[in-house]
Structure 1
Amino acid sequence: MGLILYKWLLPAFFAFHPFYVSVTEIEHVKAKNEVQVSCRIFADDLENVLKKESKLPLDIIHPANKAQMDSLIAGYISKHLVVNVDGKVVKLSYLGYKIEEEAAWCFLVAQNVTPFKQVKVKDDILYSEHPNQINMIHVIRDGVRKSNKLDNPKAAVSVSF
């Protein structure tokens, strides 16, 4: 009986073991001379880190104060995501977020950015929360996509076109 129970519980443990990953896409839109950024972060993880930092009761899916939630998310992302284009840090303006299934999609834009040769990205989103956090970075220019994986504690990548 014990062996049967063990054989059943072991796969169940792995099936429910959480994984921690975010995806950031950075795309240059030539027609608008801007860089559009989207970050897909598990909503519960983002909510938990914002609760810890702000010491406020929060609900990211149904916020009591949407402007406050936007401000907290914008502040968090600005501290943990930095995009450097051809040697210059670009100013990312936070546009907002939406919830899709279990993910929070956060949107940012940098204007007046000409096509670049090199992008350096520092992304340590949720690293303080999860030692196993993985952050995927996709950089797109002229339809060419280059992808990189950052495993905590590695937080920076350089992409050349």
Structure 2
Amino acid sequence: MMKLKKAKLWVLPLVILLFFSFSSAHKFYVSVTNISYSEDDKAFQITSRVFIDDLDKLLKERYGIETKLATPKESEIADEYIEKYFRTKFVVEFDGEIVPYNFLGKRYDTDVVICYLEIPDVDLSKIKTMSVQNEVLTDLFDEQKNVVHVKWKGNKKSFVLIRENNKGMLNL
């Protein structure tokens, strides 16, 4: 009888573990964008972290290209299409005016692609408000959340942007 009780103590956790191992976990859709003002460079430096597989899927569905990001067979036009997509889905405004930015490139870190952008020649003393619109991946994933952190002159403001609320504003 004692062996049966011990067996039950081992079997129940094993069954629970197996159940969760084979059930499909719901994927979390999120990107994180950091926007920092550099006093030395007089520029906003932007890094945007997006899951590689999500961006790969989006580029295929939106533009019909197989980018094969982060593989030896990565498409030579991948950067061009990533930049094109960011320009349509990531917008920064100063005092209500859209601000141009430079797409500097990308690199990979495990399962994430990090895109580097920069808004050069920024005179903060002449800017009252800044807004950030981030719709990256919201056109493909309903559950997509885009976290945006903005840092400038010792201040920090964060937003969680979703499809229905895709713009954050702050006073500089």
| CA shift digits 1:89-114 (9 cap, x unpaired) | 11011010001011000001111111
TM-score w.r.t. the length of structure 1 is 0.87
What number of residue pairs does the alignment pair up? Answer: 159
Instruction: Label 1:67 to 1:30 Cα distance change in 2 as closer, same or farther (>3 A).
Output: farther
Q: Is 2:161 the partner of 1:150?
A: yes
Separation in 2, partners of 1:140, 1:9? 45
- Percent identity reads 28
Report the counterpart of residue 3 of structure 2 in structure 1: none
Q: Is 2:88 the partner of 1:79?
A: yes
Report the counterpart of residue 149 of structure 2 in structure 1: 138
Separation in 2, partners of 1:63, 1:137? 31
Separation in 2, partners of 1:7, 1:136? 34
Aligned letter for 2:65? L
**Offset of residue 42 of structure 1:** 0.5
Instruction: Label 1:13 to 1:144 Cα distance change in 2 as closer, same or farther (>3 A).
Output: farther
Report the counterpart of residue 43 of structure 1 in structure 2: 52
TM-score w.r.t. the length of structure 2 is 0.82
Separation in 1, partners of 2:15, 2:144? 29
Alignment gaps of 5+ in structure 2: 1-11
Contact kept, 8 Å, 2:66 with 2:75, in 1: the verdict is no
Contact kept, 8 Å, 2:104 with 2:116, in 1: the verdict is yes
User: Aligned-pair RMSD on alpha carbons?
Assistant: 2.3
Report the counterpart of residue 132 of structure 2 in structure 1: 121
Contact kept, 8 Å, 2:43 with 2:120, in 1: the verdict is yes
Report the counterpart of residue 160 of structure 1 in structure 2: 171
Q: Is 2:22 the partner of 1:23?
A: no
| CA shift digits 1:40-74 (9 cap, x unpaired) | 00010001101112212221102646641110100
Contact kept, 8 Å, 2:135 with 2:162, in 1: the verdict is no
| Structure 1 residue ranges, 4+ long, deviating more than 6 angstroms after superposition | 3-6
Instruction: Label 1:158 to 1:9 Cα distance change in 2 as closer, same or farther (>3 A).
Output: farther
Which structure has the larger Rg? 2
